[in-house]
Amino acid sequence: MVDVTIYEVARRAGVSIATVSRALRGTGPVAARTREKVLKAVEELNFTPSRLGVSLAEGRHAANGIVFPDLAGPYYTQVLLGYEEVASELGRSVVILSTKGRTRVHELVRDLAGRVDGLLVFGHTVSDAQVAELVGVGMPLVFVSREPLPGADTLRSENTASARALAGHLLGHGYERFTFLGAPLATGDDVDERWQGVRSVLGGAIEAVPTGEYTVECGYDAALRLLRSAARPRAVVCSDDEVALGVLLAAEELGLAVPDDLAVTGWDDIMAARHARPALTTIRQPMRELGARAARALDELITGARDTPAHLVLTTELVVRASCGHHHQEECT
Amino acid sequence: MVDVTIYEVARRAGVSIATVSRALRGTGPVAARTREKVLKAVEELNFTPSRLGVSLAEGRHAANGIVFPDLAGPYYTQVLLGYEEVASELGRSVVILSTKGRTRVHELVRDLAGRVDGLLVFGHTVSDAQVAELVGVGMPLVFVSREPLPGADTLRSENTASARALAGHLLGHGYERFTFLGAPLATGDDVDERWQGVRSVLGGAIEAVPTGEYTVECGYDAALRLLRSAARPRAVVCSDDEVALGVLLAAEELGLAVPDDLAVTGWDDIMAARHARPALTTIRQPMRELGARAARALDELITGARDTPAHLVLTTELVVRASCGHHHQEECT
DNA sequence: CAGCATTGTGAAAGCGCTTACAGGAAAGGC
DNA sequence: GCCTTTCCTGTAAGCGCTTTCACAATGCTG
């Protein structure tokens, strides 16, 4: 790592480092002839300004952070990609932090916060105390999948109305006993809203069963237990597609036909939802756009273009496929 | 972002900034009483050393970069998580860069390189010219899924022997005409090795058909074309699991039974491979460990613990499931 | 008690850049 | 020909930290 500095460029071009800086960033006037000399020297020395030097002088990192539990499944992945793409367009790079299975998350987040100008945080991956701390020091923050809180942006997909629509659709199939599989882990997060939504329609006809995690494995295990019990429900509404896929597996193993013996629905419309057999009825949410918007929101907060927290809700779409019951004109996207 | 600096801590503790630094990092002797005063001041002011200041002075970023095409599917995701976890253990954070759909990748990589101490690069996401450039300036580099090249580490899963084993297994089923779907995009990458491996066993009995990308969609499209043609193969060996899932979809659409009419195999053993129906026969590779090892290798290179490039190959495992044909004692993990 | 090794501390020089600020030169107005 | 403007350019002061070096104070040895 032989580093050529701005001093060498300046010396070679026969100017001061201030002029080199100005010529390169286009700030302040520089005579055409001088600029040429500088650019020539830059070219010859293959000079790139040290990011560290620039950042220290500018007082900003030109980087965004993102905190997610893990990358299991397409949800986080898609949000991440949308985030990185837009951040990159805005000249910021993205520093990641996965909290799953990590001890000392507090320290990790603190370290991350020291490396970036703003942070995207998923749900409740960061403790409330630390969130307050971050808000306190003025760190620009945007949350995805978390109830609005003062001092930070919030960005989420619509959940409640979609959940009601889904519940309504299931009622239309004539089912009477339901289970919500993948009970919410935290009040106010996406899954909690979904649960509240379906319950507001189904009332006592649905009960929540936890899975521990929102994964295929956990969904599978929980579903085995549930489906073997005497009180087997007629329809299972899952917290997300992964859990639903687990249910599909369990049903197959137990010889239950979906949707004839058991209706199953997911949430997110991940790739595998379409490919599952039967294909999953689910709610599509704009995951990638969630990330993209988060990056823009953060940019506004960082640059000071906006200083009051915003809370945005993106619309979703009910995607009806085979897993929830038979339809006259099936739409299997 | 009110920042408290080392000067304020020093003033409050009644010592010099040098002492604060020493007390905090444990470098150089500090009297117990002094240390206490410093720690007290640090506590009271809630001081955290500025990452920028530290990095500039130390001359290192304490960060690693990673360049991947996208995060479609679990492969990149798993490697990324393994990488981030170990990097984090080693005190380094991870800066990401996705190249898919990006113009000016050269600049993006250059910018990334200026922000980190070392880089993990997947396959051929970075041009050979730029790789040479990076090697030239002494940037520690480790490649995953790329043929060994001078000046950088290389880390990959075993491909050729596994491919031969897979081919042998298929021959055991009695098939005679094969297609390799998802032709290699670059010589020397993982898929190329897989292709070379199966061909070394099957010879003229297999031909390669490109998919453009290694995704379910592309696999599906290519498979539709292939399976409708007169010269429909009896068995399709896919570049990876995603493509194989696409083939499964196409086969279903065309009313072909798998494995009775058509045998299909994947590669990677992603989650969906087990959940597909029929479950996919595939090759399992230790994706997460690939990332973990990359992080360690990079650390050695960065700290100077090692200065000669290393080239490591991790072992894989043939996972036989239902998609490749009927077996007497089926092992459906 | 002189002499020497230890230990603890501060001053100051970087690390590589940005950006007031000031001053010199060229150009225009009278 | 003198005085303003307007343009360029350089000097130097940071940005926040680490670390070398010198020096003072302390503890030991003989």
List, for residues B114-153, the tens digit of each pLDDT value: 999 999 999 999 999 999 999 999 999 999 999 899 999 9
- Is A201 in contact with A207 (CB distance < 8 Å)? no
The pTM for the full model equals 0.92
Rounded distance between C-alpha atoms, residue B268 and residue B282, angstroms: 7
* Token pair belonging to A99: 């909290």
Å separating the CA of residue B50 from the C1' of nucleotide D17: 7
Q: Is the CB of A168 under 7 A from strand C?
A: no
Rounded distance between C-alpha atoms, residue B234 and residue B175, angstroms: 6
Q: Decide if B149 touches A, using CB distance below 8 A.
A: no
- Nucleotides on chain C that have an atom closer than 7 A to a protein CB are 7-12, 14-20
Q: C1' nearest to CA of B7: which nucleotide?
A: D16
Averaged pLDDT of chain B: 94
> What's the pLDDT at B331?
46
Give SS3 for A40.
helix
A 58-77 residues with CB below 8 A of B?
A: 61, 63, 70-71, 77
- Is B297 in contact with B232 (CB distance < 8 Å)? no
Positive or negative CA dihedral for B63, B66, B67, B73? negative
Kindly determine whether residue A98 and residue B84, on different chains, have CB atoms separated by under 8 Å.
yes
* Token pair belonging to A63: 């980087």
For the stretch B195-214, pLDDT in tens is: 999 999 999 999 999 999 89
Pick out residues 40-69 of chain A having their CB under 7 A from any atom of nucleic acid strand C.
47-50, 52-54, 56-58
Q: Is the CB of A6 under 7 A from strand C?
A: yes
For the stretch A6-29, pLDDT in tens is: 999 999 999 999 999 999 999 989
Q: C1' nearest to CA of B18: which nucleotide?
A: C10
Any long-range contacts for A147-154 (C-beta under 8 Å, 24+ apart)?
A: A147/A187, A147/A188, A147/A189, A148/A309, A148/A311, A150/A309, A151/A309, A152/A309, A153/A294, A153/A297, A153/A298, A153/A301, A153/A309, A153/A310, A153/A311, A153/A312, A154/A309, A154/A310, A154/A311, A154/A312
Contacts of A84 in chain B (CB under 8 A): 96-98
Q: Is the CB of B5 under 7 A from strand C?
A: no
Residue A327 amino acid letter: H
User: Which residues lie below 8 Å from residue B198, measured CB to CB, with a gap of 6+?
Assistant: B163, B164, B166, B167, B178, B180, B206, B237
Q: C1' nearest to CA of A52: which nucleotide?
A: C16
In angstroms, the separation between the Cα of residue A250 and the nearest Cα of chain B is 11
Contacts of A70 in chain B (CB under 8 A): 81
Kindly determine whether residue A115 and residue B108, on different chains, have CB atoms separated by under 8 Å.
no
Is pLDDT above 60 for B241?
yes
Q: What share of chain B in percent tops pLDDT 90?
A: 86
Å separating the CA of residue A180 from the C1' of nucleotide D17: 54
Q: Is the CB of A18 under 7 A from strand C?
A: yes
Rounded distance between C-alpha atoms, residue A175 and residue A265, angstroms: 13
Å separating the CA of residue B23 from the C1' of nucleotide C12: 19
Q: Give which of A136, A93, A99 is closest to A117, Cα–Cα.
A: A93
Residue of chain A minimizing CA distance to B2 = A137
The pLDDT confidence band at residue A329, using thresholds 50, 70 and 90, is low
Rounded distance between C-alpha atoms, residue A267 and residue A180, angstroms: 12
Give SS3 for A47.
coil
Contacts of B55 in chain A (CB under 8 A): 52
Kindly determine whether residue B111 and residue A93, on different chains, have CB atoms separated by under 8 Å.
yes
Query: Number of C-alpha atoms within 13 angstroms, CB side, residue A83?
Result: 34
Rounded distance between C-alpha atoms, residue A76 and residue A154, angstroms: 16
Distances (CA, A) of B223 to A309, B237, B294: 49, 11, 35
- Is A295 in contact with A153 (CB distance < 8 Å)? no
Interface test with A, best of B3, B42, B52, B137 (most A CBs within 10 A): B52
Kindly determine whether residue A52 and residue B55, on different chains, have CB atoms separated by under 8 Å.
yes
> What's the pLDDT at B1?
60
Is pLDDT above 50 for A332?
no
* Token pair belonging to A80: 């991440």
Kindly determine whether residue A277 and residue B277, on different chains, have CB atoms separated by under 8 Å.
yes
- Is B249 in contact with B221 (CB distance < 8 Å)? no
- Nucleotides on chain D that have an atom closer than 7 A to a protein CB are 7-12, 14-20
User: Which residues lie below 8 Å from residue B174, measured CB to CB, with a gap of 6+?
Assistant: none
For the stretch B70-88, pLDDT in tens is: 998 889 999 999 999 999 9
Interface test with A, best of B71, B83, B107, B253 (most A CBs within 10 A): B71
Rounded distance between C-alpha atoms, residue A281 and residue A284, angstroms: 10
Give the closest of A56, A111, A245 to B53, CB-based. A56
CA of residue A47 relative to chain centroid, distance: 37
* Token pair belonging to A299: 């940019």
More confident residue, A252 or A170: A170
* Token pair belonging to A101: 């299975």
Name the maximum alpha-carbon separation found in chain B: 87
More confident residue, A279 or B332: A279
Residue B8 amino acid letter: E
The CA-CA-CA angle for residues A169, A263, A288, to 5°, reads: 70
Q: Decide if A271 touches B, using CB distance below 8 A.
A: yes
Across the range A177-184, mean pLDDT stands at: 94
Is pLDDT above 80 for B165?
yes
Kindly determine whether residue A275 and residue B271, on different chains, have CB atoms separated by under 8 Å.
no
- Is B333 in contact with B124 (CB distance < 8 Å)? no
> What's the pLDDT at A185?
84
* Token pair belonging to A176: 């009477």
> What's the pLDDT at B272?
79
Q: Give which of B13, B6, B9 is closest to B37, Cα–Cα.
A: B13
